[in-house]
A and B are shown apart, each in its own frame.
Chain A
């Protein structure tokens, strides 16, 4: 059974702070890792993808992957109220994504 676990939150951070989101996965055969943002009632929107161990930065977002620990994280620097959403961790094996239940982030003005 493939599992992707996330803290459901809610996670609240003040505007301008760093938000840290974490995810663990059970399937060691997982190949690719994604962070999606989902606003209430909307579809998932791709934020970051990462494939190899280490850090990957894109603007205010940094994804970190540690395959030995089966751990993926997302850091959001200089958090803005518009970043308030549910963040979904997704893990890919073959041609399917397995999603976590998401972490609800609120950025307080």
Chain B
């Protein structure tokens, strides 16, 4: 079964450093997303991406965050100048359409710890 692949699985970074989280969406999917889940809290939407541009973003997704599709397969989330409160599990997801019968397929996540 097709998978969304995320790397790394764990990342520890010092406060103020930049991190890049990487994702390879399912190959025939057109819509890409980032969500995050702070330990013990809800899964929260960050951003959706289609046709090489952001289509929606949440209040969480401020100037500290950026996304990019640098080539035909990768989708990245960059966090500039990380803060302690950025510590969370970050999930990449993709979908063939805007939800549809197949829903959204989530990757296994990157656990980001900011120290």
Question: Are A95 and B43 interface neighbours, CB within 8 A?
Answer: no
Measured CA separation A21–B42 after assembly (Å): 17
Chain B interface size, under 10 / 10 to 19 / 20 to 34 / 35 or more: 20 to 34
Instruction: Verify B56–A43 contact, CB threshold 8 A.
Output: no
Main secondary structure of the interface of A (DSSP, over half): strand
Residues of A within 8 A of B98 (CB): 92, 94-95
**How far, in angstroms, from A79 to B48 measured CA to CA in the complex?**
35
Docked complex Cα distance between A46 and B101 (Å): 11
Complexed CA–CA distance, A99 and B105 (Å) = 15
Query: Which residues 40-71 in B have Cβ within 8 Å of A in the complex?
Result: 41-45, 48, 50, 55-56, 58
Q: Does B75 contact A (CB under 8 A)?
A: no
**Interface residue tally on A, bucketed by range:** 20 to 34
Q: Could you tell me if B45 and A97 are in contact, using CB atoms closer than 8 angstroms?
A: yes
Which residues of chain B are near A10, meaning CB under 8 Å? none
Q: Whole-angstrom distance from the CB of B100 to the nearest CB of chain A? A: 8
Are B107 and A43 in contact, CB atoms less than 8 angstroms apart?
yes
Query: Residues of A contacting B45 with CB < 8 Å?
Result: 96-98
Nearest Cβ on chain A to B87's Cβ, whole angstroms: 14
Residues on B with C-beta less than 8 A from A90 are 43
